[in-house]
Amino acid sequence: MSESHTPSNTDTPDAALEQEVTLEQWSGDLLDLCDDFSQFSQECAFLFDALAAVAQEPECITSDTSEGIRHINFWLKYQVIGYREKINRLHSGWGILNRKQ
């Protein structure tokens, strides 16, 4: 036997998010994002220095080096996409918190 389900305001992603967002959770998520991004930026600085060193000696670029550079670029691309998504979620949560006040 199936139950009928009447859609409610909580069935939309924004409505569900609105019920879940608290200042404490939002603040914690923001601090986590800042910590993660700080570590990511340190990793990027190391990688950029390494890529610059490789570029100074192009004769040393082997197929393995080239594949490594491709892999690093792929990883960087998806890290940045992930940070953009996290920032967008925090931005949406901030708007919800402001509407609650």
Per-residue pLDDT tens for 11-46?
A: 555 555 556 779 899 999 999 999 999 999 999 999
Alpha helices in 3-62 (DSSP H): 13-20, 23-56
Predicted confidence at residue 16, as pLDDT, reads 56
Residues ≥6 apart with Cβ < 8 Å to 8: 15
Write the DSSP string, 73-86: HHHHHHHHHHHHHH
Q: Is 13 a domain residue?
A: no
**Three-state SS at 19:** helix
Q: Is 68 a domain residue?
A: yes
Q: Is 75 a domain residue?
A: yes
Q: Is 11 a domain residue?
A: no
Q: Is 88 a domain residue?
A: yes
The answer to whether the pTM exceeds 0.85 is no
Number of other CB atoms surrounding residue 73 within 10 Å: 12
Q: How far apart are CA 24 and CA 53, in angstroms?
A: 44
- Picking from 5, 15, 77, the residue whose alpha carbon sits closest to that of residue 47 is 77
Q: What is the DSSP letter of 12?
A: S
Q: Is 7 a domain residue?
A: no
In the chain, the number of structural domains is: 1
Q: Is 14 a domain residue?
A: no
Q: Is 8 a domain residue?
A: no
Range of the domain at 70: 21-100
Give the mean model confidence (pLDDT) for residues 3-16. Answer: 46
